Chains A and B, each alone.
Chain A
């Protein structure tokens, strides 16, 4: 079982694969917020409205990303465990998601105005801000299990994809 404070072999390349029911236990053990979100993720995956990609090293899930296909695809919920950051797993997840966007000609995502680190990653990957802002209020359970709400303002970013299929 992976804990956030355990060192992770920085040389091991992550395997990116589609989340399946069989991954439930490992995903839920890896992160409490993933455990909370997992039932909804599996519902979306079963409906066919989203594909969830999992980055796995030595059997441990270290990152996740959601892809919603469509004429303009959307990438959501990109997350890498804190102990596994800075080794390209987010980039690998993004590339894997983009490769599954066809026949979309563009892919969009939202980035929090208070998250310049993520924004830098997306810009490096070729995403450009559209100037379109969206403010969302959402509820979540904190580490103690208390229901809280938070308001976040995001900007939509977009990247064109290959037109030739």
Chain B
């Protein structure tokens, strides 16, 4: 028996998706971090412009980020972008897992619908990974715990982000 939740699909994004990816990415930051950091550079048009550059770079074949990264997008029944994920080899100086879940953000209307779980398991192929999460991002921490991640004791302070403390979770 299946639950009658809203229908979505997981797909590989293309350059045509970049404006939508940038918008969801910045909105995701606002949901996750607006209580920790402030400023137009993170949440306004300049943030969207910066994410457009990032996603264009990441999805352009031939760049190192494109070669090393894995990217997934969630779409609603009409194909509209509702979530995104990116995974690179761990960026830690001393990696503890073969992959990192590097980016995961969702359209707020699709929180709690299984899109984030589907994005995560698809991009990681159900396998082991590490993820850095803001210590004060309880929703994300609960989500990763449900997917089998636990904190491994590593922390870092985001000097460029109002000294937010992150912790690393692994599975």
Interfacial residues, chain A to chain B (CB-CB below 8 A) = 48, 69-71, 99-100, 102-105, 126, 160-165
Digit string of B144-165 for contact with A (CB within 8 Å is 1, else 0)?
0000000000001011110010
Main secondary structure of the interface of B (DSSP, over half): mixed
The A-contacting residues of B in range 49-103, CB under 8 angstroms, are 50, 53-54, 57-58, 60, 62-65, 69, 86, 88, 91-92, 102-103
**Contact across chains for A164 and B132 when beta carbons are under 8 A apart:** yes
**Contact across chains for A69 and B63 when beta carbons are under 8 A apart:** yes
Known interface pairs A69-B57, A105-B91; A161-B62 also in contact (CB < 8 Å): no
Residues of A within 8 A of B58 (CB): 103
Residues of A within 8 A of B91 (CB): 71, 103-105, 163
Closest chain A residue to B50 by CB distance? A99
Interfacial residues, chain B to chain A (CB-CB below 8 A) = 33, 50, 53-54, 57-58, 60, 62-65, 69, 86, 88, 91-92, 102-103, 132, 134, 156, 158-161, 164, 166
Give the shortest distance, in Å, between B51 (CB) and chain A (any CB): 9
Q: How many angstroms between the C-alpha atoms of A102 and B103 in the bound complex?
A: 11
Q: How many angstroms between the C-alpha atoms of A137 and B68 in the bound complex?
A: 33
Give the shortest distance, in Å, between A163 (CB) and chain B (any CB): 5
Q: Which of A70, A103, A104, A160 contacts B159 (CB 8 A)?
A: A160
Known interface pairs A100-B54, A103-B88; A163-B166 also in contact (CB < 8 Å): yes
Give the shortest distance, in Å, between B159 (CB) and chain A (any CB): 6
Q: How many angstroms between the C-alpha atoms of A71 and B89 in the bound complex?
A: 10
Q: How many angstroms between the C-alpha atoms of A48 and B64 in the bound complex?
A: 9
Residues of B within 8 A of A104 (CB): 91
Residues of B within 8 A of A162 (CB): 158, 160-161
